A = this chain, B = another copy of it.
Amino acid sequence: MLTYRFANENDCGLILEFIRALAAYEKMSDQVVATESLLREWIFEKQKAEVIFACEDGKEVGFALFFHNFSTFLGRAGIYLEDLFVLPEYRGKGYGKGLLRKLAQITEERGCGRLEWWCLDWNKPSIDLYKSLGAEPMDEWTTYRLTGEKLKEMAK
């Protein structure tokens, strides 16, 4: 049976396992500097993100991490899905789509106007799924990121 539950502060180890599994899948493990203690601080103390698990017979087999973004034109928050990952051995059962549906429900319940996420341009299977759900690619826009030394320099 598939159920969902919100993560709590006792789940930081489990959240980190999912983050590492996702990074390994994307061959980006070297970029993970998150620790249990950082996750506790930023997710549960400072409340900057929320996590939902998809559970098969009580065992966590997928996770989604999201936060609130904001639309000035709508004058309200939206929901931004930062990461969604289902353990490879539990794929093909609709759990990923189930997590997306759960997020859509939360977006509606909270009166938020939009559910958004981003996707690598070469990930065609996911793009096909998203388009089939009616999601619209924001093709005209590119995100810019300032980080590390360049950020420090700009802050001077």
Contact = CB atoms under 8 A, between A and B. Distances in A.
Interface of A: 16, 19, 22-23, 28, 31-35, 38-39, 41-43, 46, 48-49, 65, 67-77, 80, 82-83, 100-101, 104-105, 107-108, 113-122, 130, 133-147, 149-155
A154 B138 contact: no
30 contacts: A16-B75, A33-B74, A34-B73, A34-B75, A34-B76, A35-B75, A38-B75, A42-B70, A42-B75, A42-B76, A43-B70, A49-B70, A67-B77, A69-B80, A101-B154, A104-B155, A108-B152, A116-B143, A116-B145, A118-B142, A119-B144, A122-B140, A130-B144, A134-B150, A135-B145, A135-B146, A136-B144, A137-B143, A138-B142, A143-B143
Nearest to A115: B146
Nearest to A109: B155
Main secondary structure of the interface of A (DSSP, over half): mixed
